[in-house]
Amino acid sequence: MAVGLESPPPLAPVTGVRLAAAAAGIKKDGALDLALLELAPGSQVAALFTRNAFCAAPVILARRHLQRTAPRYLLVNSGNANAGTGEQGLADARACCQAVARAAGCAPEAVLPFSTGVIGEPLPLAALTGAIPDLVRTLDADGWLAAARAIMTTDTVPKGASRRFELDGRPVTLTGIAKGAGMIRPDMATMLVFLATDAALAPAQLHACLQDAVARTFHCITVDGDTSTNDACVLAATGGSGVAVPAGSAAQRRFQEELEALCGELARAVVRDGEGATKFITVEVRGGRTEAECRQVAFAVAESPLVKTACFAGDPNWGRILAAVGRAGLPQLDIAAVRIHLGQVCLVRDGGRAPEYEEAQGAAAMAGPEIHIRIELGRGQACTRIWTCDLSYDYVRINAEYRT
């Protein structure tokens, strides 16, 4: 059960975007498993993809298509990753793009394919392509939530959010959906994320906005330390509102703030819905020499199985946090300068247990569904914040039974 997370309310339509979802029979339970997003002509698209060397066939093909023409359609299937499938996987991904092209009347290169699910299994091509004509016929501006459901795998709730704001006194909409619950440790963006705005931005400007937002949000989460073969994050700007965003302007700065806020909401939703999660954990590291070393410490703590299982049990076993900080690999770390807190409770100071600390205080700080771990390194001014979740019995069960 997701930690403090429910299915989102209806999402705001974005002028120039239509969506549809279908149950193509890829998933065994008959759930929605195929989504199509249509972008108005003239839309600009920026995308980030996984750096996993075994990147999936749709990732390879989407990168190629982005270099050739402006995307008009995004096709997303769940239940099958089409990864580790060699040349046949690439051929199947191309066939999917060709099927959309025939039904929608566009070039195959104007279609970007995305897949998520089990790795190493051939794509059920006939079922997938057979559903595409109906998807094209049922495209609708209000199809965001159905699409969010169609891209889910082990997610327990669909993830989506919208923001409406003004740029230079004129209304703009930004809406996004995401999927992801396991195999979460971003190395570019994360999982599958699709964002769209009706503002108009130039291609380089759009890409820069996406990179900056991802660095501060999706790059700051981890569920289990694994980077997927299929990760992708896409931002489309249709210009349908008629509001142009000049590069370097106050309007761009406001847009960047709203984009980062939306991405942050979706990133935290992924962690809250982490496989088997019962606790939402914030790991904050302050006082580092650089942000990079703060991240090094934060991820060492956030991805420690011992820290994560202690959080699941509500056990303030602070020695596990101390050990993770110590093995993070910072050169010349002065342990006497390090402070470790659970919430407002100081656990560690001057190289050991804080004299005033009592076990009951630590237990109280870990009793609720949200846990805040704060680490002061005492060696500089840099800081960072990472979001993660606990490691429960259900995480093991979900992944042990994933293919059965």
Phi, then psi, of 353 in degrees rounded to 5: -60, 135
Helix axes 291-302, 318-327, angle to 10 degrees: 140
Helix (H) or strand (E) holding 229: none
403: how many CB neighbours lie within 10 A of its CB? 9
Q: Count Cβ atoms within 10 A of the Cβ of residue 90 and give its class: 0-12 exposed, 13-18 middle, 19 or more buried.
A: middle
Which single residue is written with the structure tokens 């020695």?
A: 319
**Which of the following is catalytic: 50, 85, 153, 190?**
190
Q: What is the sign, positive or negative, of the torsion defined by CA atoms of 97, 100, 102, 108?
A: negative
Which single residue is written with the structure tokens 């069960």?
A: 397
**Residue 358 neighbours by CB under 8 Å, 6+ apart:** none
Q: Compute the distance between CA of residue 223 and CA of residue 225 in angstroms, rounded to an integer.
A: 6
> Is-catalytic flag, 116?
no
Q: Compute the distance between CA of residue 239 and CA of residue 24 in angstroms, rounded to an integer.
A: 32
Rounded to the nearest angstrom, the gap between the alpha carbon of residue 218 and the centroid of all alpha carbons in its chain is 5
Catalytic residues: 190
